[in-house]
Structure 1
């Protein structure tokens, strides 16, 4: 597969009330734009155990120099994983598809609940305040889905509206966030929550091939959550940080990310570039990544970002913060080159990749958390969120704090 220029008409979507056009060099004001969905809380969670890339190679006795090179040149230092149990001889158990699905459920519910509770705490809200819950995953299939399990395990109201987004891959966090934002806009004052729960180690196949080794070297386990509220008065402000809800001063100092617009791009000619296949020999699903994925994403990134900013009066130079999915070193480099971004602009994207690996749908929220905790965001700043995944798909959102 090779990267090609877009030939199909591009689609876009927008959260209600488009921002007004502004003259170049001026800040786009949303003060009189009416109520908009805002991210008032966020949280992340991981399994208890983490491993360096070298530790992974040693644990599984990988000697093939080609595979070792894939692990050690991935720009990843450590990942949080739920590995197969260790056997008496020191090797790792070969998990069945049923055992992998059980892992997916157990770890997904646990980390998803932890991320959810952290996000609500940061928002200064209680479980009883949640009116809508959207859960995202690609690492297993459950019926009922994570949303039902979280309502039960976390104690959310039984009246909570629910949606499960399954199988959309790494881009799905922004797909689901658009649905949550729409619900929030239609229900001002009520809390809507998105939880991305990915247990990528529940989708690993250990067969020694380069195909599975690329996947096994890249993905990590983790969950992320955001709480969105549309203030009827259009003045929503919530504090961020571990102790931000404790004082009015902290509340006043912390900016809130408001979603202004979204834009999407699917690349049909690359529909098979990222996919799950059934492996008859292993008796389980196996994920596939085409080696040309980074170039396909990069070739289409500029078009979708320009469309996202179209009609706003904003240019790429006006964007203060870029939160791009930590899809892998080559993917990040390709986006960086095609959008003309600096290393500093993608510091949180590369930092999350280094410390967690590719966390699939929740990766960009780990970067969002780091950005907010960094304390560099100022009111009026603009940000672009970007995720990429199967389809092949690029999702973007424009945010103002």
Structure 2
């Protein structure tokens, strides 16, 4: 066996040389059977051809080497996990209003406003708030916020590692995102400490980037996987409710109390070619656009203090209009050229030119993305967010079902909501091999980010899916 391996290695490393020697030997044998004139002519041709062949071969080898060294490495989504809080943390409408009244922080007008927002929000009666918010008065301490973060982050990661059989010490990259809660040490350091990750770990903590930060985190992990060989990257997305509830009476800042709920996700990415056999998805595209240079867009979701000094996030009435503009930019100027057929691209360009050059006042052509993508995971930011994107993309109810049901069951879990939606689609058995999934996330700044995945096989729900005990009840009729 030893000599077979040596022979195999010799043949592999010297194959080109052996082939060249064989070619030369054949030519020599053929030449020996010709007269001198023919031999002289053949020698001249051989010299010329040999130089050409060697030059061409060298160029081909060089080009192949450059291509192999510089082409993007494939990134695989091995599996992911969404945190499901315990049942004792459920918060229905009536309990929420009663708890809010007992805190003494809100006047009757604010309580009535929050009740109306809840009824129209698209949230169901079984969403979750952290344990600290179930106390009277709420425990809004740093310790309580850390406790919430640990429960969500470790809960998602424990399940992910159990489902994938990956040793945490094999993780080479950790990207953590949480917009409003960024303690010292960071949340990413908390993960390193909990799982005793190796000292050479590449650890990143993203803050203040809003509900679209999950896609940003995946984008960062993808870039890091291009330079670090044969490793895993873990992307963890969550938002902290405990330290960020608003206890004032400014209407634009009360909406956050009604929509945001406990949730989080952990995603395992790999650049190992061996993981293609077990991975669920392959990363196809990530497209991001930022409207921060526009003052209106920059301030449409803005953390500040009200006149009484109470901190919260103020949501502008222009938010939906700005979200629509950000989405159109993302899909037409950035994502469209990557995924749409030439015919759709030409139609879009034609309508733009007609409006610009001839003042034709033709509505911009909206491509039929239903022909390009099989499944849509639109950030469950609220009923109005889903309505706006459904209208702009000309989608059918089934295309936004995962988003509406996620909002109903779990509320707005910020950057992790797109993973609860993907889990819903898997639980319904809808994802087949070759299907393309489009995750769309909107966030403060203002940003619109897209990520496209291709299913490598029929995707089954992972063990301990957040929909495991309730998928049979969905879809349900939500408020219109």
**Alignment-derived partner of residue 19 in structure 1:** none
**Alignment-derived partner of residue 66 in structure 1:** 113
Between the aligned partners of 1:162 and 1:354, the Cα distance in structure 2 is 34
Contact 1:189 1:229 in 2 (8 A): yes
Matches within 5 A, 1:90-239: 92-93=136-137, 99=141, 101-232=142-273, 236-238=276-278
**Alignment-derived partner of residue 62 in structure 2:** none
Change beyond 3 A, Cα 1:374–1:387: same
Contact 1:35 1:232 in 2 (8 A): no
Between the aligned partners of 1:280 and 1:66, the Cα distance in structure 2 is 19
**Alignment-derived partner of residue 396 in structure 1:** 450
Between the aligned partners of 2:389 and 2:338, the Cα distance in structure 1 is 23
Are 2:277 and 1:260 aligned? no
Between the aligned partners of 1:329 and 1:150, the Cα distance in structure 2 is 33
Between the aligned partners of 1:353 and 1:337, the Cα distance in structure 2 is 18
1:117, distance to aligned residue in structure 2 (A)? 2.0
Between 1 and 2, higher relative CO (CA 8 Å, sep ≥ 6) is seen in: 1
Structure 2 gap segments, 5+ residues each? 1-70, 342-367, 456-480
Q: TM-score, normalised by structure 2?
A: 0.67
Are 2:359 and 1:311 aligned? no
Are 2:83 and 1:45 aligned? yes
3-state SS of 2:402 partner: helix
1:83, distance to aligned residue in structure 2 (A)? 5.1
1:288 equivalent among 296, 314, 318: 314
2:305 equivalent among 256, 263, 278: 278
3-state SS of 2:253 partner: helix
Change beyond 3 A, Cα 1:189–1:70: same
**Alignment-derived partner of residue 82 in structure 1:** 130
1:165, distance to aligned residue in structure 2 (A)? 0.4
**Alignment-derived partner of residue 322 in structure 1:** 376
Structure 1 gap segments, 5+ residues each? 1-32, 240-255
Contact 2:72 2:226 in 1 (8 A): no
Between the aligned partners of 2:220 and 2:133, the Cα distance in structure 1 is 38
Between the aligned partners of 2:80 and 2:325, the Cα distance in structure 1 is 31
Between the aligned partners of 1:228 and 1:189, the Cα distance in structure 2 is 11
Change beyond 3 A, Cα 1:279–1:213: closer
- Higher-Rg structure is 2
Greater helix proportion: 2
Change beyond 3 A, Cα 1:373–1:187: farther
3-state SS of 1:394 partner: strand
Contact 1:266 1:394 in 2 (8 A): yes
Contact 1:201 1:220 in 2 (8 A): no
Deviates more, 1:154-163 or 1:211-220: 154-163
1:189, distance to aligned residue in structure 2 (A)? 2.8
Contact 2:81 2:157 in 1 (8 A): yes
Contact 2:253 2:315 in 1 (8 A): no
3-state SS of 1:142 partner: coil
Q: TM-score, normalised by structure 1?
A: 0.80
Greater strand proportion: 1
1:34, distance to aligned residue in structure 2 (A)? 7.2
CA displacement, residues 242-264 of structure 1 (integer Å, 9 cap, x when unaligned): xxxxxxxxxxxxxx221111111
Contact 1:141 1:166 in 2 (8 A): yes
Change beyond 3 A, Cα 1:121–1:375: farther
Contact 1:200 1:359 in 2 (8 A): no
**Alignment-derived partner of residue 368 in structure 1:** 422
**Alignment-derived partner of residue 58 in structure 2:** none
Between the aligned partners of 2:249 and 2:339, the Cα distance in structure 1 is 50
